[in-house]
Amino acid sequence: MQLQFEKVTKSFGDLNVIEAFDNTIADGEIVALVGPSGCGKSTLLHMVAGLQQATGGSVRAAGQPVEKPAPERTLVFQEHALYPWMTLEENVALALEFQDQPAKEARAKARQWLSRVKLGGFEGYYPHQVSGGMRQRCALARAFIARPKVLLLDEPFGALDALTRMTLQSVLKELIEEERPTVVLVTHDVDEALYLADRVLVFSQRPARVLKEFTLGHIPKTHDLTAFADIRCEVLALLGIDTKDDPGTESPIPNKGVTA
């Protein structure tokens, strides 16, 4: 499903969050949004989800103005947001029950999806009985089971340790390749953006505007991101991280780079 942003502005009272954002995301494209904290990335996702309305301009999905939430546009948060009193299977099935699918079928499909995210055997566990990574696998199963045309991911793995995050990125990549939704991924992890996205938009401080756009294309990718080293440096530089002379890294020259 194509997404179109035309001169989208958003303010909360006097606070201008997004300024004249123009972009078109093609059907099946995977676009990552990176930018400083508080610049308006989540707000942009919320507008696509239909949870927030633009102050000016328009947000369209498949040519239609987005006015309210719809199951075809699914949002996944960092906090897995599973119901603690429901088993993993019940949590995943709920996404279909909300769409009025009979409970028995919903449960059967939930079991299939849990096995697709390698949670077979854990159907009857409650969220607190499994790890953070497993909860987020479950959240992915719950997002994908409804076969959304647009998947909106808001720092989906932000709460996970680095290794678990990389594993989950691979699980997500596989699901996206199989299901082909249009994806908008908000992340503060530049490597995550490079690994998953076809295109990366780097935003400025609030009010957010696009500083630069990087088209990576459908290159088969692994976590070996060496091919993207130059783009990675450029994105980090736009975010204010100097990779050439990073004061946070150890310098071979005595005293150089020591700030504290």
Place of tokens 């005595």: 254
* Contact assessment for residue 183 and residue 176, using Cβ atoms and an 8 Å cutoff: yes
3-class SS at 8? strand
Instruction: Mark the segment that binds ligand ADP (CB under 6 A) among 34-42, 72-80, 166-174, 252-260.
Output: 34-42
Sorted by sequence, the CB contacts under 8 Å of residue 76 that are 6+ apart come out as 139, 140, 143, 151, 152, 153, 154, 156
Distance separating alpha carbons of residues 3 and 64, to the nearest angstrom: 9
Please name the residue ranges forming H helices in 124-161: 132-145
Can you tell me which of 19, 32, 34, 41 binds ligand ADP, judged by CB under 6 A?
41
* Contact assessment for residue 195 and residue 174, using Cβ atoms and an 8 Å cutoff: no
* Contact assessment for residue 60 and residue 66, using Cβ atoms and an 8 Å cutoff: yes
Interface mask toward ligand ADP for 1-20; x: CB under 6 A: -----------x--x-x---
The encoded tokens of residue 177 equal 């390749």
Cα 109 versus chain centre, distance: 24
Q: Which does 87 bind (CB under 5 to 8 A by kind): Mg ion, ligand ADP, none?
A: none
Can you tell me which of 4, 25, 35, 42 binds Mg ion, judged by CB under 5 A?
42
Can you tell me which of 43, 74, 78, 182 binds ligand ADP, judged by CB under 6 A?
43
- Compare residues 13 and 217 and give the one whose CB is closer to ligand ADP: 13
- Compare residues 137 and 206 and give the one whose CB is closer to ligand ADP: 206
The encoded tokens of residue 256 equal 């150089």
Interface mask toward ligand ADP for 190-219; x: CB under 6 A: ----------------x-------------
Q: Which does 241 bind (CB under 5 to 8 A by kind): Mg ion, ligand ADP, none?
A: none
Instruction: Mark the segment that binds Mg ion (CB under 5 A) among 36-44, 145-153, 199-207, 249-257.
Output: 36-44
Instruction: Please report how close the Cβ of residue 175 comes to Mg ion at its closest, in angstroms.
Output: 22
Name the residues that contact ligand ADP, by CB under 6 A: 12, 15, 17, 35, 37-43, 206
